Structure 1
């Protein structure tokens, strides 16, 4: 259904109804911004790059063939734009600003963490991941992208995507465990 909705609006835009692109922006603005924020680690730069990503997508919409999901295509534009921006600026990474985590974070099976603390612990742990691992986790767990689609976004092979996602999960588990130990230690 998601892909059909996207295609419907893409075709409207291609046929001259440019206002239909606002549906696409509204649907994907949060995840595009989240990817940009995690990679660039600066809210203003991420906002600017997210806007630029939508402009690039709009200007290149005629090249979208529909072989992959539109979301995959858009995330790839965003990710590549971020990497290009980093290379261009050769910037030093600063601390991340807040990243919104949706309720889908419950899927990570964090039974040992009280429900009211889960989002906070997950956010804290995600902030500690390198941007490439963060992107993999975000796309797989929060955006429910397939391994194949994630590979297309990041430019990795499917097997390399699986390996890197596995390592990111292990690292995330270790980080969460350490956070929980620290919290328990401060309580005692």
Structure 2
């Protein structure tokens, strides 16, 4: 959804066209859920929290000023609610299942390649499970959601330079765990 379209849709919702909120939920729920899953690995908890995020966003639409994109605003709500939930109950990271490893065409992939992919996912799971929820959230935003440093700053309320430092430290920490260096690009 383009920025002008977002603002127009929000204005219509504020003026009573509540059916349009369904469009926002359908448009953004997969990405909001993905961001939440970066902090809350339990699918059911994440889905429940995603619903809560959209309920909270609906009742807070009058506070949306349009300074940032709607997705940034929704991710900010999701971030705050996710971190609050992890504080309420200690959340343990649940690893990615090897069944979740998908390939476009399994017949084109050798057994060795499948084995190597599974090993990489095992390593990734170990690395991610060693991070605290806020670190996993930053990694999810930067790599999975492909958010810029500026957008992450808007979502988290942390300064851009601090985000760069945190990402660098997280990558360094992960790199040390695998005995190598991981490069960070802030493009």
Q: 2:169 aligns with which of 147, 167, 170?
A: 167
For 1:126 and 1:177, the matched residues in 2 are separated by 15
Instruction: Tell me the matched-pair count.
Output: 167
Match of 2:11?
Answer: 11
Q: 1:143 aligns with which of 142, 145, 148?
A: 145
Partner SS, residue 146 of structure 2: coil
Superposed CA deviations along residues 50-104 of structure 1, whole A, max 9, x for unmatched, are 10000000111111010111111111111111222233x3x2223326497999x
Higher helix share: 1
Match of 1:111?
Answer: none
1:1-188 aligned within 5 A: 2-87=2-87, 89=88, 91-96=89-94, 98=96, 117=117, 120=121, 124=125, 125-174=127-176
Q: RMSD value over aligned CA atoms?
A: 3.2
Per the normalisation by structure 2, the TM-score is: 0.72
Partner SS, residue 156 of structure 1: coil
Unpaired stretches in structure 1, ≥5 consecutive residues: 104-113, 179-188
For 2:27 and 2:66, the matched residues in 1 are separated by 18
Q: Which moved more, 1:142-151 or 1:67-76?
A: 142-151
